[in-house]
Amino acid sequence: MSEKIYPFSLSPGLEAKLPKPSRAGFIFVDVKVNGKWEGILVFDERRLCVGIRCDRKTLEYPLDFSPGEIEDVRPASLWNRTLAFLPSWLVLAYPYACFFIIPAMLCMDVNHAPAGSILAIISGLIAQRIVVEHLRAFCQTNLLIIIAILGFQAAALQSLIKTLLK
């Protein structure tokens, strides 16, 4: 969309579902469009959408949908709020950093079992979710990242099982 769409308001039925504003006067919500939850839209104290939340800022970023297509609203999920708080370069670099982070956690597992294995598995799951949700452009590369992280997770799971069977 090239035209300016901000600020805009929701239909009266959806506006009634908006949660209370934060101390700063903003309302952060996930919106449901075509059966899928998207987020985070930012509403001001007048209950007008003033943009999206990304990189710790409210931006007037073009939406992939029109405001009339919004089916439902809910308070922003913890996952979306966390991603909106972090700098985007950090989020997008995390899956690549896992090639160093997860082996380090597996090395830590030697002395602090099973903590290293559990952290490696959780770190891999977070990286895979980021790849699936946010790095769709380079599909073949992303598939290789997911497979490599699965390999690390398999090693972590094997180490965890060995530790628990001892």
pLDDT, tens only, 112-123: 667 778 888 888
pTM: 0.61
Alpha-carbon torsion, ordered 148, 97, 128, 35, to 10 deg: -150
**In terms of pLDDT, which residue wins out, 3 or 118?**
118
Strand partners, 97: none
Q: What is the pLDDT of residues 67-94, one digit of tens each?
A: 888 899 999 888 888 878 888 777 778 8
What is the C-alpha to C-alpha distance for residues 157 and 162, in angstroms, rounded to an integer?
A: 9
Q: Cβ neighbours of residue 75 under 8 Å, at least 6 residues apart? A: 19, 28, 29, 30
Distances (CA, A) of 144 to 38, 76, 131, 134: 26, 31, 11, 15
